[in-house]
Amino acid sequence: MLLEEEISKSDFKEHRVRIEAERAKLKNTIDVISQRQNLVKADFEVALQLATELNFLYDKANFDEKRLLCETVIRQLNIKNGTIVNMELNSPFALIATRAESSGAVLNGGRYWI
């Protein structure tokens, strides 16, 4: 457009500055997403390993470690008359539980969880 004299040189420079700023912002956004994606993947892998060993870890844990395991896996637990009526899992355990075909340890907290 500049070569064909459809816009002035100052307008061209202004548009180019805006485009370069937008490009830099998008590159920064992509970099942040890429870094976050690696962190999410690492968190998921740790959670998956924890979920597969939940019964063993809970069985071998002392009281404080059992409490930490519960707080790590469970976001909210609703109990009525001594029975669990609803349980909300932390991320990514909720995703793991929905994908597990029969993960009693994750879905029900294993045989040790009330």
Return the pLDDT at 104: 52
Report domain extents, the chain. 9-105
Residue 78 has pLDDT above 70, yes or no: yes
Q: What is the mean pLDDT of the chain?
A: 80
Give the pair of three-digit tokens for residue 5.
């004299």
Residue 109 has pLDDT above 80, yes or no: no
Tell me what the mean pLDDT of segment 1-9 comes to: 65
Residue 103 has pLDDT above 70, yes or no: no
Tell me what the mean pLDDT of segment 95-114 comes to: 56
Respond yes or no on whether the N-terminal peptide bond of residue 92 is cis (omega within 30° of 0). yes
Question: Residue 16: which residues within 8 A CB-CB, separation 6 or more?
Answer: none
The verdict on pTM exceeding 0.85 is: no
Phi-psi map region of 61: left, alpha, beta (phi>0 left; psi -120 to 50 alpha): beta
Amino acid at the residue 16: R
| DSSP reduced 3-state for 82 | coil
Return the pLDDT at 17: 93
Q: Angle at the Cα of 87 (from 84 to 91), degrees rounded to 5?
A: 160
